[in-house]
Structure 1
């Protein structure tokens, strides 16, 4: 039995759509398409709510977003033994235990960091969508880029504390929070600044300003157009399905992504309106 070559496995439609299966209830090919964004369906990561019933029972008792955030942080920190000061009871320094907050901090510093690779790897694992960029553009021919990405996303320094399970809970908490406190809201208008409006990520041109673009499997947006303008001369406006949001600025009281009002969004194809800042 021969092992398939990485180049062959990433070739053709597989590279465009992603894996053939995932842990949510929508096929990757459809989930990554702009058509899904027009008519989104509820996404649930298999088993997360069932194995964490106590958390969601606590959340259902919360009367405010602040109470819900406090319940989430207390549960996750206890379940994964996350100590903000990383010390044992005697005060001695102990081995660092990876946490979702460390990933957010690394992403905020550089989306192409090893922490960024772990988040992209989680999206690939749970949603079946392949990354299109990590340090450089990724396609079937960029074997070296894929090798670097795989090595970073699987690094043992991040996988000593069930880091994917932590991100599962972060996503499900984010979805619970939006349904609970903003019921009926299916989409959020978000903005992204860029200087790279080239044809590499262009899927379809609809009219002079409206295009379908293929984004990375996880991508940053902001809710503020002026903030987006700080990151590039071209402003992309997207109507993002709420079910594709992993994290947003007011989800938790303290986090490293506050400065830009950042949203972390599951990527794929998006219909966007492009304008010049």
Structure 2
């Protein structure tokens, strides 16, 4: 990574977590103490028969724990009506609008705090702590308005819910999911090459992908695909029935080195 790896809360060396070796052969990950401290949520989830019921359990738990309102789980009416308490949904929507926004910086800050991975890009490439982009990232992620409602604790639960849903309802017994991303260039992310079309890419600490190849074909001059460890998925829109923006089947993938395939979009 362009910056030194930091400590994490997942019980593995950060260097290994960020490596292509981990991407190829992942082991189970959990954020320390989250499931133990939120046992009632996972008791509710154990009663769910499908994603709709699991999503409802998550929504009710987040509403009770963080004082959220039902509308917040479906849309963020910015500038209209009374202000809401800050929620993980607002961050996810903000990320979708701009992955270098203040909302996005908070998400990257959570990854740095929990997984030890500093961002490689935030509005511009980051190569050292003296870069202006690093200062912008720190300013954005530390905004006091974002941390007034235990936002990192909300994201901890989002991650653990997604891991539960993948392992229990969606892909039990599986370790990887093929993801796609449209891009205009990947050369500055190449660590080494397995062959002409298969580089090992060093992804940003958090990156958007999709499970739908057709969506990726619409963005950029090339399509990057990776076999993503399920354990490095923070968010998948298909796993939250209450989330309003699911058409692009977006997945937020935690960074590191990934063997990838680079192809032209399908005609």
* TM-score, normalisation: structure 1: 0.89
Instruction: Give me the whole-angstrom Cα distance separating, in 1, the residues matched to 2:221 and 2:245.
Output: 22
Q: Any conservation in 2 of the 1:248–1:261 contact (CA below 8 Å)? A: yes
Aligned to 1:251: 239
Q: Any conservation in 2 of the 1:17–1:32 contact (CA below 8 Å)? A: no
Aligned to 1:18: 5
Structure 2: gaps of 5 or more residues: 73-80
Q: Any conservation in 1 of the 2:3–2:128 contact (CA below 8 Å)? A: no
Deviates more, 1:186-195 or 1:93-102: 93-102
The answer as to 2:180 corresponding to 1:186 is: no
Aligned to 2:185: 196
- Give the 3-state SS of the residue equivalent to 2:146 in structure 1: coil
Aligned to 1:34: 20
Aligned to 2:54: 68
The answer as to 2:220 corresponding to 1:232 is: yes
The answer as to 2:34 corresponding to 1:48 is: yes
For residue 95 of structure 1, report the CA deviation from its aligned partner: 4.5
1:215-270 Cα shifts (integer Å, max 9, x gaps): 10011111111210111111111000010111113111132441311101111111
For residue 197 of structure 1, report the CA deviation from its aligned partner: 2.1
Q: Which structure is larger by alpha-carbon Rg, 1 or 2?
A: 1
State how 1:10-159 maps to structure 2 within 5 Å: 15-16=2-3, 18-19=5-6, 21-85=7-71, 94-140=82-128, 142-159=130-147
Q: Any conservation in 1 of the 2:180–2:224 contact (CA below 8 Å)? A: yes
Alignment root-mean-square deviation, CA: 1.5
- Give the 3-state SS of the residue equivalent to 1:140 in structure 2: coil
Mark the CA change 1:257 to 1:34 in structure 2 (over 3 Å): closer, same or farther: farther
* TM-score, normalisation: structure 2: 0.92
The answer as to 2:121 corresponding to 1:167 is: no
For residue 211 of structure 1, report the CA deviation from its aligned partner: 0.4
State the aligned residue count: 256
Mark the CA change 1:80 to 1:209 in structure 2 (over 3 Å): closer, same or farther: same
- Give the 3-state SS of the residue equivalent to 2:145 in structure 1: coil
Aligned to 2:78: none
